[in-house]
Amino acid sequence: MNSIKSVVFVCLALLAGNTLADRAEDEASIRGALTGVKPSSINTTPIAGLYEVVVGPHVVYMSGNGQYMLQGELVDIRQGKNLTEPSRRGAIRELMSSVSEDDMIIFKPEKVKHVITVFTDIDCGYCRKLHNEMDQYLAEGIEIRYMMFPRAGVGSDSYKKAIAVWCAEDRNAALTNAKNGKPLDMKTCDNPIDRHMQLVRQLGARGTPFIVLDNGGTQPGYVPAKRLAKVLEETP
């Protein structure tokens, strides 16, 4: 009986070794296929031979030989569970954690319940609507951290206004004035606006306001304060 147990143990050990070797070989193939791109993680999925690959804030799926890539949501139908979303949120949280608060314009409530990051365009109508309701968001305990996304691009009037706001002595007041159409002192200085724009493009945003929730989820477009507070409370 002991000899049979020993044989079974050896077989299981060899099988595990082969599995680890196969996975290492697959990961090497996937990394080799992603020329010029360094994935932050490569993980197995419930589907044999299919790997979850995280690159920046993006989650894709690749075959073990690195030849095929899938973009989309992986869903466990029996459990009714989206398997992609947790990984995507984690990747976005990691990306956002790399940004210093010194590179943001922050409106903070007395008691912070949630923290969101809003990519904003000074001349966007719904961005102005959101900002003009700032007191409502603060009343819900939502801290708003602004980053700039002038959609018209580098050199546009919105871009120049974003720089002027950043270079103002009181950035919060300057942003409020700019949102209300008041004239700005069009100063220039060292600023993070280009980095903001590069980051929001990584996130795949096309419109403003673009909101990143504290759990790593994203919300394109304006959301009223009470509805946003409910979303933040209900989303794990």
- Give yes or no: residues 84 and 104 share one domain: no
pTM of the model: 0.82
Q: How far apart are CA 57 and CA 38, in angstroms?
A: 12
- Give yes or no: residues 105 and 211 share one domain: yes
Active site members? 121, 124, 127, 151
Which residues of the chain have a pLDDT value below 70?
1-18, 20
pLDDT at res. 2: 54
- Give yes or no: residues 29 and 86 share one domain: yes
Total tally of structural domains belonging to the chain? 2
State CA 49 to chain mean position distance: 27
pLDDT at res. 10: 42
Count of residues making up the chain: 236
- Give yes or no: residues 70 and 160 share one domain: no
Q: Which pairing describes strands 41-44 and 50-55: parallel, antiparallel, or unpaired? A: antiparallel
pLDDT at res. 21: 72
Residue 141's φ and ψ, nearest 5 degrees, are 80, 20
- Give yes or no: residues 25 and 45 share one domain: yes
- Give yes or no: residues 127 and 45 share one domain: no
Domain hosting residue 169, numbered range: 100-234
Asked if 208 and 127 touch (Cβ cutoff 8 Å), the reply is: yes
